[in-house]
Structure formats: C-alpha cells, structure tokens
Structure 1
Amino acid sequence: MSDDDVPVWRLYLLRALYLMVSVGLALSFWPALLHHSDRWALWAQRRGEMVAMLLALSMLCVWGLRYPLQMLPLLIFELVWKTVWIAAIAYPLWQHGAMTPGVEESFYACLAGIVITPLVLPWRYIAHHYFRKPGQRWR
C-alpha cells in the first residue's frame, strides 16, 4: 500500500487530529511554562518531565500537518499512552473510589482521544507499513 492509496479526506482528518493534539497540548501547558508562578518550582519538580514531553509532542505534531503519514507514530504513541494511563492509573483509582477531580478531568480528556484517534487512523496503511512490511536489516 502506497501513500497515494490513502484517500485525501483521510489525510485531512489526520491533519485535523494533529492540529487538535498540538493546539490542545499547547494551550494546556505553554502558559504554565512561560509564566512562572510562585508554585512553579514545586510544580516543575513533580511534573516537569511530563510537561516537557507533552510540549515536545505538541511541537512535533505540527509536522504532521505537512507530513500526516510520516508522522503517524506520534498519533499511535498518543493512543497507546492514553490507553495505558486509563488502564493503569485511572481505572484502579476509580475502582477503589479514590478518583480526584484532576484525575477525572484527565480521564475524560484521555477517553476522548481513545475514541477519536482509532476512527481517524488509516489502519490498513499502518498494518502494511508497520507490521507486514519487512523490517530493516540489523547488519
């Protein structure tokens, strides 16, 4: 399956998803990074790595606007980390009645991504290029 086999409408859906991820993450995390408050040091100490990773993901998703198929691993990563977070963190907290408002907010944001992303991804293209296609040589 070549890049030309993916319909143009699917490419536009992918671009819309890259834009949604990029803008959503940027709006959520850039203000905190740019405008340090008194609590900045404590917040950065506990969540700094996560914020840096998500802002990097936001910046990389901008490339997805130009190269929607080549940047598919970003959307696959987005789907996988959200699924893992819900299964390993949110669900056990909910099961034990320990869900906080912040966790609940994150849960719904992740759930939206888990519902939308699989509908947009070109699964036949992914299967061909990431599973059926021979891997690159080791030597």
Structure 2
Amino acid sequence: MHIHPILQFFASDPRRDGVRPVQLWGLRLFFLLMLVFVTPNAWSVLLTHEDTWDPVRAIAFAVWATYPALALFGLLHPLRWLPLMFFTIGYKTIWLAFVAVPLWQTGTLWGTPTGEIAGSFLALPLLAAVVPWGYAWRTYFAWPRRTVEASATSASGAR
C-alpha cells in the first residue's frame, strides 16, 4: 500500500519506534528557535554585564546560555535530546503557573516585561504537541520491560 508523501510526514514511522516525521522536524524547529532566540540574548547579557552579579539572576542567565547551546545536539539527534525539551516544558510551565497566572488574574500582566516573557511562552502547547509522548514514556519513564527472550536467557543462566 502506497501512502502519499504528505501523509507519510504525519504517519507513525516504525524505523523510529513509531515517532512521526512531523514530530522529529517539530523538535528540530524548537531546538533551532532556542539557538536563534535564546542564545544571543543570554550571551549578550553575560558578556556585557558589569559590577557584581545577583547570584540567582546569574544562575538564570547561565542556564539560559547553556540549554540552547545543547540544542545544537538536538538539531542532530532530536530523540536523544528529548530531556532538554522536558526541561524546557517544565520550567516554562512552572513559570507561567507561579509568575504569569497570578498577574493575569489581577489584570496586571500585559504591557509589562513579565507579559512579554509570558507571551513568548504561549507557544508551549505547540512544543508539547511535537513531543512524541509515547516514545518518551517508553524510553524515559516506563519500567523496563522484560522480553520473553531475555527472561529465557536469564533463567537458563541461573541454573
């Protein structure tokens, strides 16, 4: 059965453990966006900062300079670097919940620097949509499955 090339882009790929090509390219796009938008901002702040750093602010910029640099590897091997996406989804979700939502509820979010950051984080559902959650669960979170073959090998070796 022949599948149209456009539909193949959205079809599960058995060669990649069921991950769809659209998900792989979506992950690559987000890794690229990290490199393009986060890296220059973080590094310019780090390289031009004068005086003594506030330690917490320094940690934030050090992290922001590091994780998009790691995104370069994600461009090449998006499935191997999924944990970087988990980190990104995690920190943005936590920030939105604890910083942006309370300000939004009081009507003081938009038109502020915090609102600008919140606006940039609103693509979070798109990021979550390109993560191959089934693959992620099987690879990073599920208890390792014992196959019949592995069970038979370990049973014969135990004798």
Residue 110 of structure 1, aligned match among 101, 116, 121: 121
Partner of 1:64: 74
Normalised TM-score (structure 1): 0.80
Residue 80 of structure 1, aligned match among 90, 99, 107: 90
Gaps of 5+ in 1: none
For residues 23-38 of structure 1, the aligned pairs below 5 Å read 23-36=36-49
Bigger radius of gyration: 2
- CA contact under 8 A between 2:31 and 2:74: conserved in structure 1? yes
- CA contact under 8 A between 2:22 and 2:130: conserved in structure 1? no
Q: Which amino acid letter does the alignment assign opposite residue 23 of structure 1? A: V
Q: Distance in 1 between matches of 2:87 and 2:15?
A: 22
Tell me the number of residue pairs that the alignment of Structure 1 and Structure 2 aligns.
Answer: 130
Q: CA deviation at 1:2?
A: 6.8
Q: Distance in 2 between matches of 1:8 and 1:98?
A: 41
Q: Which amino acid letter does the alignment assign opposite residue 142 of structure 2? A: R
- CA contact under 8 A between 1:3 and 1:69: conserved in structure 2? no
**Given the superposition, is the C-alpha separation of residues 17 and 96 from structure 1 closer, same or farther in structure 2, using an over 3 Å criterion?**
same
**What secondary structure, in the 3-state scheme, does the structure 1 residue paired with 2:122 have?**
helix
Q: Which amino acid letter does the alignment assign opposite residue 29 of structure 1? A: A
Q: Distance in 2 between matches of 1:6 and 1:88?
A: 33
Q: Distance in 1 between matches of 2:143 and 2:120?
A: 33
Gaps of 5+ in 2: 1-13, 146-159
What is the root-mean-square deviation in Å for CA atoms of aligned residues? 2.2
Q: CA deviation at 1:98?
A: 4.3
For residues 16-55 of structure 1, the aligned pairs below 5 Å read 16-36=29-49, 40-41=50-51, 44-45=53-54, 47-55=57-65
**What secondary structure, in the 3-state scheme, does the structure 2 residue paired with 1:5 have?**
coil
Shift >6 Å, 4+ stretches: none
CA-to-aligned-CA distance 1:83-121 (integer Å, 9 cap, x gap): 110111111122234436111011111122x12201211
Q: Which amino acid letter does the alignment assign opposite residue 17 of structure 1? A: F
**Given the superposition, is the C-alpha separation of residues 94 and 9 from structure 1 closer, same or farther in structure 2, using an over 3 Å criterion?**
closer
Residue 12 of structure 1, aligned match among 4, 17, 25: 25
Partner of 2:4: none
**Given the superposition, is the C-alpha separation of residues 10 and 97 from structure 1 closer, same or farther in structure 2, using an over 3 Å criterion?**
closer
